[in-house]
Chain A
Amino acid sequence: MNIQNLIKVSIRAVFSNKMRSFLSMLGIIIGVAAVIAMMSIGQGSKESIRQELSTMGTNLLTVRPGADMRGGVRQDPSAMQTLKIEDYESIINEKKYVTYVSPEVTSGGQVIYGNNNTTTTIYGESPEYLQIKQWDVEKGDCFTEEDIKKSAKVCVVGKTIVDELFGENVDPIGKNIRFKSIPMKIIGVLKSKGYNSWGMDQDNVIIAPYTCVMKRIAAQTYFSSIVCSAITEELSDDAIDELTKILRRNHKIKDEDADDFTIRSQAEMMETLSSTMDTVTLILGIAAGFSLLIAGIGIMNIMLVSVTERTKEIGLRMAVGATGFVISVQFLIESIIISVTGGIFGVLLGIAASEWILPLFSMPSIVPLWSILLSFSVCVVIGVLFGYIPARKAANMDPIEAIRHE
C-alpha cells in the first residue's frame, strides 16, 4: 500500500472515533500550549529585564571598594575605604576607554519640607552621573562643576520626593528641603523612571554634588563607589583593564596581590540575569514538558485500545495481503496524526495564550519561534515513540487468531 493510501486510511480511523481522538489530542494540545506559554513567559521576562538594564546604560561600569568575597573570609573594614578622591582624579586625567566618571557617596535618611517628611537616599555624584545613567532632568537644571567645587547645598530630586513633600500643583524648584537637618535647595526635578524589576522605586532619590554629601552629610573622605561609562558596551572590557591599571597603581598593589576593589560591568550583570532567566525558563519548560510526556502516554494507551479493538480488521488486512510492516506503518501514522494535529492546535492555543491571556495578568511574554518548532517536533517524536509499541503489537498479530477474534 502506498503512503497516500495509508494516510487516508489512518485519517479515516482517527475521524471514525472523533471523541476519543479529540480527548487524546487534548493532552497534547494542553501540553504544547503550556510549553509555549512557559517559554514565552521566560523569554518575555528576560527581554523586559534586558530592556530595563539597557536603559540604565549597557556600558555602565561600577567600581566598588573591597575584593570579591573569597572563601568566606571576612574583609578588613578599612578595605571598604580604598576609593579616594585621588583615584577619581587619576581616572579623569588618564581615561581613554572611559567616557563619563562619577564618584558616588550615598547616605540614607529622612528628608523634610514643612510638615511633610519621607525617607530616602541621597546620592552624592558628579554632574556626569546623569549622562552615565541616561537620566534626564525634566524641570530646572542639574548642578555644575562650580557647585562641586563649592560643595554647594543644591540637589536634583526624583518624582517620588516631589510627590511626598510637595504634593501636586507646587513648583519645587527653588524650595529648600532639609536632609538630616542640612538645608538643600532643589534646582531640578528628574524625569520619572518608575519601579525597576526588583520592585525598587527609582524615583525616590536625591542627587547632590558628591563634595557636599561627603563633607556635610556623610562626613567621610572615601567614596562608596565610582560609576563610569565605557565608550561602548563592546569596549567595556578594555575600560575595565584601564580602570584596574590606574587603581592598582594608585593603591600601590604588588603584582602578586589581589585587587582591593571590584569592577562590575552592566553587560556582566545582564549576562548573569539572563542566565538566571534561562534557568527559570528551562525549569518552567521541563515542568510543561512533563505534561507532554503524559499526553504521549495517553496516546499510547488509546492506540493500544484501538489496536485491540481492531484486531479483526488487522486480521482481515493481513489475510488479504498486508505485511506486518504495512500494518505497523498504518498505526504509526495514526498516532502521528493525533499528536501532530494536537500539536498544531496546541501551538495556536499557546500563541493565543501568550498574546492575549498572559498580558491580562501583566505577564511579559514573547513567543520565541524556536519554542514553536521545538514543541512541534517533540509532538512528532511523541507520535512515533508512543505509537511504536501499539504499532508493533498490531504488526506481530497472528492473522489466524486475529481474523477469528470476537
Chain B
Amino acid sequence: MENNKKVIIELDQVKRYFQVGSETVKALRGISFKIYEGEFVTIQGTSGSGKSTLLNQLGCLDTPTSGEYYLDGVPVKKMSKNQRAHLRNRKIGFVFQNYNLLPNTTSVENVELPLMYNNKYSAAQRREAAIKALQAVGLGDRLEHKSNQMSGGQMQRVAIARALVNTPAVILADEATGNLDTRTSFEMLVLFQKLHKDGHTIIFVTHNPDIARYSSRNIMLRDGKIREDTINTNIESAAEALAALPKPQDD
C-alpha cells in the first residue's frame, strides 16, 4: 500500500525484554511495521499488551533489546542518550495524557519549550513559531494565559501545539483523550483529523477501541505482538460525531 509514499517509521523485528529479578519480561516479542508519511495510525491494546513499551521505542525514549528501528531513515538502536535527545527534539512531537504543561507558564512559553533546546532558533523565531502553532490548534486568543487559567481541553490543545512547533516527522499521542470528557475528547479528535488532513503523520496510542474509527489505520497489540493491522477505508468524521452529541445542559 501507498508504496510511493515516504516511510517515516520502520520497525524490524523489534524486541524489548526487561529483567525483573530473575524473570525476563518480554514486553515486545518482535514487532515489524512501516508507517508512511501522512498516516493517522492508532495503536490499540489493553494494559499489558506492550503499547507503552512500543510508544517508548517509537519516541526514542528507549532502545530495543534486539531488532532495528528507523525513524525518518535514521537507525535509533545504536544511538547514545544525547543523540536520541537531539533526535526527539527535531523529529518527534509528544502529546501526553496529562498534558504535562509547565506550571505558572504561559501558553506561548509552554509551546516554545522544544525550540528552547534548539539553538538554531532565535527568541523572536521561537515566539513566532509558537504563536503559529497555537493558532493552528485554535488558541490564537489564549497566547498569554497561564496553564492554571485554562480548561483541560485548552491545556491539551497547548500540548498539541507544543508537539507541532518543531515541525516533527511524527506526532506521538499517548492516550491524548484519556483525561478528557466525551465532548472534549471529540474536539481533540476533530483537531487530530484536521492535522491529519494537513499532512501530519500521527500515531495515537490508546486503549479505547472507538478511536480507531477516526484514524486511517489501526494496529492492535496483544501480549507484545501485533494481532491485527488494518487499513480503515471508512474513516468517520469526528466533527459529525461531535455535532451529534447531545448539547451540554448547563445554563
Contact = CB atoms under 8 A, between A and B. Distances in A.
B100 A321 contact: no
Contact of B85 (A5, A312, A318, A400): A318
Contacts of B62: 400
A12 B116 CA distance: 15
Contacts of A320: 88-89, 94, 113-114, 117, 162
Given A5-B116, A320-B114, A400 B61 contact: yes
Given A313-B102, A403-B96, A321 B90 contact: yes
Contact of A321 (B89, B102, B103, B104): B89
Contacts of A318: 85
Interface string A309-333: 0001101111111111110000000
Contacts of B90: 321
B81 A403 contact: no
Nearest to A318: B85
Contacts of A9: 116
Contacts of A5: 116
B147 to A, nearest CB: 12
B13 interface: no
A362 interface: no
Interface string B86-103: 101110001010001011
Chain A CB within 10 Å, residue with most, of B86, B89, B116 = B116
B94 A319 contact: yes
Interface string A4-22: 0100010010001000000
A12 B103 CA distance: 11
A16 B88 contact: no
Contacts of B86: 321, 323
Nearest to B94: A319
A323 B116 contact: no
Given A316-B100, A326-B117, A399 B61 contact: yes
A16 B103 CA distance: 10
Given A400-B56, A400-B62, A321 B114 contact: yes
B24 interface: no
A319 B82 contact: no
Contacts of A2: 119
A323 B88 contact: no
Interface residues of A, number: 23
Interface in B137-169: 162
B117 A1 contact: yes
Interface in A212-250: none
Q: Majority SS of interface residues in chain A?
A: helix
A400 B116 CA distance: 21
Contact of B102 (A316, A323, A400): A316
A321 B96 contact: no
B59 interface: yes
Interface residues of B, number: 24
Contacts of B88: 319-321
Nearest to B101: A316
A321 B56 contact: no
B118 interface: yes
Contacts of B85: 318, 321-324
Given A312-B100, A400-B56, A403-B96, A319 B61 contact: yes
Contacts of A316: 96, 100, 102, 113
Interface in A1-43: 1-2, 5, 9, 12, 16
A324 B82 contact: yes
Given A320-B88, A320-B94, A324-B82, A403 B117 contact: no
A313 B98 CA distance: 12
A326 B82 CA distance: 10
Interface in A49-100: none
A319 B89 CA distance: 8
A312 B102 CA distance: 9
Contacts of A403: 96, 100
A308 to B, nearest CB: 16
B162 A16 contact: no
Interface in A276-328: 312-313, 315-326
Nearest to A4: B123
A317 B113 contact: yes
Q: Among B61, B103, B114, B118, which residue has the most Cβ atoms of chain A within 10 A?
A: B61
A320 B162 CA distance: 9
Which 9 A-B pairs give the minimum distances between C-beta atoms? A321-B89, A320-B114, A321-B117, A323-B85, A323-B82, A316-B100, A1-B116, A400-B61, A321-B88
Given A316-B96, A322-B117, 16 more contacts: A1-B119, A2-B119, A5-B116, A316-B102, A317-B117, A319-B61, A319-B94, A320-B113, A320-B114, A321-B114, A322-B85, A323-B81, A323-B86, A323-B117, A324-B82, A399-B61
Interface of A: 1-2, 5, 9, 12, 16, 312-313, 315-326, 399-400, 403
Interface of B: 56, 59, 61-62, 81-82, 85-86, 88-90, 94, 96, 100, 102-104, 113-114, 116-119, 162
28 contacts: A1-B116, A1-B117, A1-B119, A5-B116, A16-B104, A312-B100, A313-B102, A316-B96, A316-B100, A316-B102, A316-B113, A318-B85, A319-B61, A319-B94, A320-B89, A320-B114, A320-B117, A320-B162, A321-B85, A321-B90, A321-B114, A323-B86, A324-B82, A325-B82, A326-B117, A399-B61, A400-B62, A403-B100
